[in-house]
Amino acid sequence: MKKFLEDMVYNNFLLRAIISILILIIYIISQINIFILFSLGLIIYLIIFYEVIKYFKNFLSIILIYLIISFISYAIYFYSFFNIYIFNFFIFIIISFDICSYLAGSFFGKNYIFKKISPNKTFEGYVGGLILANIFYFIFIFFYNELNISLNIIALLNIIIIFSIFGDLAQSLFKRKNNIKDSSNFLPGHGGFFDRFDSFISSIIFLTLYSYIFL
C-alpha cells in the first residue's frame, strides 16, 4: 500500500486519471460516426509522427516504419473490417490491462523484468493485469451481449494483451535509446501521445491480421 501511495504521488495519479477520463469521453462521443472515429485516430497518429520526428533521433527509420505499418493496419481495419463491438472490446481490453497491470504491480510487484528496457515493469504486474483483464472480459460480455463467450474471443483477448506488452516495451526501448523520459509533454501526467497509445499502436496490427484471417 505504501508503494502504491508513493507511486500515486510520484506519477501524478489524479492528473493522469483526469486526462484518461477526458480521452475516454472524446472516444465515446466520436462513435456517433465512423468517419469521426477514424479521424480521431488519424489525428492521434499525426501527433505521434510529429513527436517521433521531433524528439527521436536514434533508430528514427525503424520507429517510423513501425508507425507506418501500424497506421496502414488501422486504415485497413476501418476500411475493410470495422465492427464497433469488436473495436470497443479491443479498446476495453487494452485499457483494462493497462490499469490492472499498473495496480497489480503497485501492490504486489517485487520481481522486475526487462529492467534495462522498462525499469518499473514487474512480473506480478503483468500476471495480475492478465488475470484481471480476463475477469473484466466476462463483465464486458455481461453488459455488452453483442459478443458471445467463446474460446476464439478469449484467445483474441490474450493475444491482444501480448501485443500490448510488446508495444509498451518497444516504446520504452525507443525512449531509452534516445535518452528521453517521455515522447512529449502534450498530455499532462502521461507524457506524450506515443506514451499513451503505445499499446494500441502494436495491437491494432494484430487485430487487423486477425480480422483478415477469421472474419
- Residue-range domain boundaries for the chain: 2-214
**What is the 3 state secondary structure string of the chain?**
CHHHHHHHHHCCHHHHHHHHHHHHHHHHHHCCCHHHHHHHHHHHHHHHHHHHHHHCCCCHHHHHHHHHHHHHHHHHHHHHHCCHHHHHHHHHHHHHHHHHHHHHHHHHCCCECCCCCCCCCEHHHHHHHHHHHHHHHHHHHHHCCCCCCCHHHHHHHHHHHHHHHHHHHHHHHHHHHCCCCCCCCCECCCECHHHHCHHHHHHHHHHHHHHHHHC
Q: Of the given ranges (9-13, 56-60, 98-102, 114-118), which has the lowest mean pLDDT?
A: 9-13
Q: Of the given ranges (42-46, 47-51, 198-202, 211-215), which has the lowest mean pLDDT?
A: 211-215
Residue-wise pLDDT for 157-203, tens only, equals 899 999 999 999 999 999 999 999 999 999 887 789 999 999 999 99
Residue of higher predicted confidence among 114 and 48: 48
* 202: its cell numbers: 502494436
Q: Are 155 and 207 in contact (CB under 8 A)?
A: no
Distance CA 5, CA 106 (A): 9
Average pLDDT, the chain: 87
According to the model, what pLDDT value does residue 166 have?
Answer: 94
Q: What is the dihedral of CA 110, 185, 100, 152, to 10 degrees?
A: -120
User: From the CB of residue 81, how many other CB atoms can be counted at a distance below 10 Å?
Assistant: 16
Residue-wise pLDDT for 138-166, tens only, equals 887 777 666 666 777 788 889 999 999 99
Distance CA 176, CA 14 (A): 26
Is the pLDDT at 13 greater than 80, yes or no? no
User: From the CB of residue 158, how many other CB atoms can be counted at a distance below 10 Å?
Assistant: 16
* 201: its cell numbers: 499502436
Share of the chain above pLDDT 90, in %: 54
| Dihedral class, residue 188 (left if φ above 0, else alpha if ψ from -120 to 50, else beta) | beta
* 212: its cell numbers: 483478415
Q: Are 124 and 140 in contact (CB under 8 A)?
A: no
Q: Of the given ranges (13-17, 94-98, 195-199), which has the lowest mean pLDDT?
A: 13-17
Q: Are 152 and 158 in contact (CB under 8 A)?
A: no
According to the model, what pLDDT value does residue 137 have?
Answer: 80
Please state the pTM of the whole predicted model.
Answer: 0.89
